[in-house]
Structure 1
Amino acid sequence: MKNAVLLIVALLFLLQAGCTKSIRYSEEEIKSFPPNIQENIRKGAVNLGMTQEQVRYTWGSPDSIKILESFDGKAREEWIYSTTGTMGVVGSRLLLFFDGKLIYIKY
């Protein structure tokens, strides 16, 4: 009985640890950003106009990056963040950047 209780406690601890949001930045790293951007990063909120660096601090590195063809010399990138579950990929978020700034978000 005692071993069963210890096993259940250990499993609950592991499950809880897996749900903890990882911190991708330190306060020192984001202190040069405007206060509203710092708050968005803390909340995990991505908004239009954010830079690629700010998005990485907020959501981490994307699962894939596609460099899009440029007709005017300005950089265009498509970032995809995939959400996985027990059955594999269950959703994705697509972000488009133009010249280093976020211009489009699709959930």
Structure 2
Amino acid sequence: MRKSMSALCIMTSALCFSVLGCIDSVRYSPDEIKGFSVAIQENIKRGEIVPGMTQQQIRYAWGSPAVVNVLKPSDDGKYREEWIYTKMGLLKTQLIFVDGKLTHIISNEP
């Protein structure tokens, strides 16, 4: 009896973890994104990013990055940052921002 209860608890926990791990949480309210263009609002809602988006827009679309690195300024003195997002510890996407705007997306995702 104890073994079957223990096995049931483990299976239930694993099922909850797998289901909840697949749910995307909303990272914004409609009021927070209403000032953006319709195209940017749609990108955020779909969880898509495009060059030119601001850091705040990226956070609304993808959430907070796993790592943030401050890079040396560009040749013309502009502030640069690198954000790194990871999935399952293997897949990595690097985002490069210049003066707060996304300029480069570097990914090893298929």
- Shorter chain as denominator, the TM-score bin is 0.7 to 0.9
Q: Which residue of 1 aligns with 2:39?
A: 36
Q: Whole-Å Cα distance in 1 between the matches of residues 57 and 65 of structure 2?
A: 13
**Identity percentage of aligned residues:** 46
Residues 2-46 of structure 1: CA deviation (Å, up to 9, x unaligned): xx8898677545432221111111111100000000000000001
RMSD: 2.2
Runs of 4+ in structure 1 displaced over 2 angstroms? 4-15
Q: Whole-Å Cα distance in 1 between the matches of residues 10 and 100 of structure 2?
A: 49
Q: Which residue of 1 aligns with 2:79?
A: 75
Structure 1 residues not aligned, in runs of 5+: none
User: TM-score scaled by structure 1?
Assistant: 0.82
Structure 2 residues not aligned, in runs of 5+: none
How many residue pairs get aligned? The number is: 103
Q: Within 5 Å, which residues of 2 pair with 1:3-82?
A: 12-70=15-73, 71-82=75-86
User: TM-score scaled by structure 2?
Assistant: 0.80
AA paired with 1:99?
Answer: D
Q: Whole-Å Cα distance in 2 between the matches of residues 67 and 14 of structure 1?
A: 34
Q: Whole-Å Cα distance in 1 between the matches of residues 10 and 98 of structure 2?
A: 51
